[in-house]
Amino acid sequence: MSEQKQMPIVRPGGPGGHGGGPMARFHNKSEKLKNPRSTIKRLLMYLGDKKKILVLTFSLSLITTLVSVIGTRLNGYTIDNFIEKGDMAGLARICVILIIIYLVSVISTYIQNKLMVNIAQKTSSEIRRDLYRNMQRLPLNYFDTHPSGDLMSRLTNDVDNINMTLSQSVTQLFSGVINIVGMLAAMIFLSPLLTVIGLLTMPLMFILTRLIVNKTQPFFIKQQRELGNLNGYIEEIISGQKAVLLFSKEKHVKEEFSKINHRLTINSIFAQGLSGIMGPVNNFTNNLTYLIVAVCGGYFILSGMSITVGILFTFILYMRNFSRPINEILNLFNTVQSALAGAERVFEVIDEPKEEDSIVAKDISNINGEVLLKDVNFSYIEGKQVLKNVTLTAKKGQTIAIVGPTGSGKTTIVNLLTKFYDIDRGEILIDGESINNIKRRSLRKSVSMVLQDTYLFSEKVRENIRYGRLTATDEEVEEAAKLANAHMFITQLPEGYDTILSDNGSNLSHGQRQLLAIARAILSKSSILILDEATSAIDTRTEIAIQRAMLNLMKGKTTFVIAHRLSTIRNADEIIALKDGEVIERGTHDELIKRNGFYANLYNSQFRTGMEI
């Protein structure tokens, strides 16, 4: 996939490869939430179909607050009417009532938390589902320019942050707001004067909290971004571990990992550390409030005002129950900021432009395989053309070989044929129909590809081959394997066709993985076949056998072959020679050899001894 080197970020193996270019980790991004209101609104939309459960949770919060108000008032009532008067029987009765009230509060809180956890899990599941579905519809160039580890971080860490916030913080927010309102009403009813005194320090608390939030918010955003960078780097290095060991770069990757890990650590320390100041600041403010209320209340009692010890005791409990949810809500900014930063990252991917077919695009079922590229121009980066006025024609059943030096645009033609990218100018026709008028899904079903770097899933060998056509029978799978010359080595595996492959088939040789990819393409029974260096990793003896099998496979199919081993394309109906994105020669092998031009030089440079495979 040499042409991809002209793109801003390159992945090993070209489009769809693993990992991301190192520059992908150092984009300059804003350190502020872009639109927190919009993000919150979108999160609330996911809660829209759970209104009944939310109403029930809200009702349970009301019950919990109500019994808390009653229980707190009974504490003061007990002091004035039973403890001071020495009424032990009345004290016993009130204790039984308080136990019942507290049990109701515990049960109500438990059910409320359980319901909220259920809502949070379902909501995060829906967000994760939408994110994953949208990722499947993103164009290939998005994956070329974004580290896969960062995408994985959005799918896991960021969604988990949202889940944690919904399951814990929303419950606290619900009950907190109700508690604040309920306790404030009880405080005013009990003593308006003490209420005014108790609220004097509230503005100070809100001002200090606002200052802390403004300082910590950028660090929470950096923390989430650096976590994605770290995941991306880990995924990239694990995928390329062989290269790391081969070039003895262990020390280098350790240093690089340490740098990213250090940035994550520093931002996490600042985010968590600064937000951790909020608790002590609020505690100080609350204790100051309790002191002021206690001193003023004691003065009022000694002055003979209508405030008793029981009322003052009850008021201080109300004040504590009033300030506690305020502190909890203020401390929630820590979790909420992290969740909002994660939610923005999730919605960024969901909002990315998707692969969209034109309004007039239609499904096609029977493609003959006639392909025409007419004056096609294309560039990955605006102003840097990869293809320049490329024209080629392939009739049904013909084999078209594309040759040229690295970076000449060979693989780019394949990417355009499959609509992985859209052309800048020109036209591509299949059976006389512009590919812009054919739905991508329908087009790709009619094209099978064998790439230089194939991918195998951690599944049975049989299922990896069946990926080419999921409805294929076991017999058809085995027949395809025989045509690809893979049957013999498969039967020698521990479980034969039922052998489960490890990650990307790492328990097979490169050549064996390529054979399975060829079998997968054979099974798909497509009208158009693309072979991009399909035999590059296979030994000479196996290549000869595969070439024979390929002749049977290619019968009746329009085939495009990209090859550096020029001996493999001698029998092509037409050979297209590319250089710097332009067609400089075309013709059969014999015709091009006679011209003694660009192709002849390439061919002769491979066989200077005059010997061929």
The pLDDT tens digits for 513-523 are 888 888 888 88
Strand partners, 529: 448, 559
Report yes or no on 55 lying in a domain.
yes
Instruction: Convert the pLDDT of each residue in 320-372 to its tens digit.
Output: 878 777 777 776 776 777 788 888 888 988 888 888 888 888 888 778 888 99
Give the rounded percent of residues in the chain with a pLDDT score beyond 70.
87
Based on the structure, what is the number of domains in the chain? 2
Asked whether residue 441 is domain-assigned, the answer is yes
Pairing verdict, β 447-450 and 528-532: parallel
Confidence of residue 167 (pLDDT cuts 50, 70, 90): confident
Residue 445: inside a domain, yes or no? Answer: yes
What's the confidence (pLDDT) of residue 377?
92
Q: What is the sign of the dihedral through the CA atoms of 481, 484, 490 and 491? A: positive
Mean pLDDT to the nearest integer, 497-521: 82
Tell me the three state secondary structure of residue 299. helix
Whether residue 117 is predicted with pLDDT greater than 80 in this model: the reply is yes
Residue 34 has pLDDT above 50, yes or no: yes
Tokens of 271: 């985010």
Q: What is the pLDDT of residue 44?
A: 84
Winning range, highest mean pLDDT, from 77-81, 93-97, 201-205: 93-97
Domain assignment present for residue 492? The answer is yes
Same domain, 337 and 404: no
* Mean pLDDT, rounded, for 460-485: 88
SS3 string, 208-277, reads HHHHHHHHHHHHHHHHHHHHHHHHHHHHHHHHCHHHHHHCCCHHHHHHHHHHHHHHHHHHHHHHHHHHHC
| Model confidence at 608: pLDDT above 80 | no
Residue where a domain terminates, one of 319, 350, 381: 350
What pLDDT sits at residue 19? 36
Q: Look at residue 286 and tell me if it is in a domain.
A: yes
Q: Is residue 39 part of a domain?
A: no
Most confident of 156-165, 356-365, 419-428: 419-428
Clarify whether residues 53 and 159 are in a common domain: yes
Domain identity same for 332 and 376 = no
- Specify the CATH number for the domain of residue 128: 1.20.1560.10
* Amino acid 527: pLDDT: 85
User: Do residues 563 and 505 share a domain?
Assistant: yes
Specify burial of residue 596 (Cβ count, 10 A radius: 0-12, 13-18, 19+). Answer: exposed
Statement to judge: residues 274 and 155 lie in one domain: yes
> Is residue 103 assigned to a domain?
yes
What digits encode the pLDDT tens for the residues 131-146? 888 888 888 888 877 8
Distance CA 52, CA 36 (A): 26
Pull the structure tokens for residue 296: 């003023």
82-91, 155-164, 173-182, 459-468: lowest mean pLDDT where? 82-91
pLDDT band at 611 (very low <50, low <70, confident <90, very high): very low
Q: Are β-strands 433-434 and 371-378 bridged in parallel, bridged antiparallel, or unpaired?
A: unpaired
Q: Give pLDDT tens digits for 281-313.
A: 777 777 888 788 888 888 888 887 777 777 788
- On the question of pLDDT at 443 being above 70, the answer is yes
Alpha-carbon distances, residue 381 vs 2, 123, 387, 512, 560 (angstroms):
15, 39, 12, 36, 25
**How many angstroms separate the CA atoms of 551 and 566, rounded?**
16
- Are residue 324 and residue 378 in the same domain, yes or no? no
**369 and 561 in contact (C-beta within 8 Å)?**
no
Q: Is residue 447 located within the same domain as residue 482?
A: yes
Query: Reduced to 3 states, what is the DSSP secondary structure of residue 38?
Result: helix
Residue 25 counted as domain residue: no
Mean pLDDT score across all residues of the chain:
79
Write out the residue range of the structural domain in which residue 548 sits. Answer: 371-606
Residue 553 is part of a domain; what is its CATH number? 3.40.50.300
Q: Is the pLDDT of residue 432 over 80?
A: yes
Structure tokens, 609: 């001894």
Q: Find all residues with CB under 8 Å of 587, minimum gap 6, and list them.
A: 574, 575, 595
Q: According to the model, what pLDDT value does residue 545 have? A: 60
Overall average pLDDT of the 495-516 stretch: 82
**What local confidence, expressed as pLDDT, does residue 546 receive?**
63
pLDDT exceeds 70 at position 589: yes
What's the whole-number mean pLDDT along residues 438-455? 82
* Residue 13 backbone zone (phi > 0: left; psi -120 to 50: alpha; other: beta): left
Query: If you average pLDDT over each of 29-33, 167-171, 252-256, 574-578, which comes out highest?
Result: 574-578
Q: Are residues 83 and 196 in the same domain?
A: yes
DSSP annotation of 353 reads P
Using CA atoms, how far apart are residues 333 and 275, in angstroms rounded to an integer?
8
Give 426 or 556, the one with higher predicted confidence.
Answer: 426
Are 312 and 379 in a shared domain? no
Within 13 A of 208's CA, how many CA atoms are on the CB side? 21
- Residue where a domain terminates, one of 291, 319, 350: 350
> Residue 447's closest CA among 432, 430, 470, 427?
430
In this prediction the pTM is 0.67
- pLDDT for the residue 2: 39
Instruction: Please tell me the distance from the alpha carbon of residue 323 to that of residue 326, in angstroms, as a whole number.
Output: 5
- Whole-number pLDDT of residue 548: 65
Q: Is the pLDDT of residue 30 over 60?
A: no
Are 256 and 233 in contact, with CB atoms under 8 Å apart? yes
Judged against a pLDDT cut of 70, whether residue 114 lies above it is answered with yes
DSSP string, 61-83: HHHHHHHHHHHHHHHHHHIIIII
Q: Which two tokens stand for residue 85?
A: 């008067």
Residue ending a domain, choose from 320, 350, 380: 350
Report d(CA 426, CA 392) in Å as an integer.
Answer: 12
- Could you tell me which residue, 23 or 462, shows the higher pLDDT? 462
Instruction: Please report, in angstroms and rounded to a whole number, the separation of the first and last CA atoms in the chain.
Output: 25
**Res 606 pLDDT > 70:** no
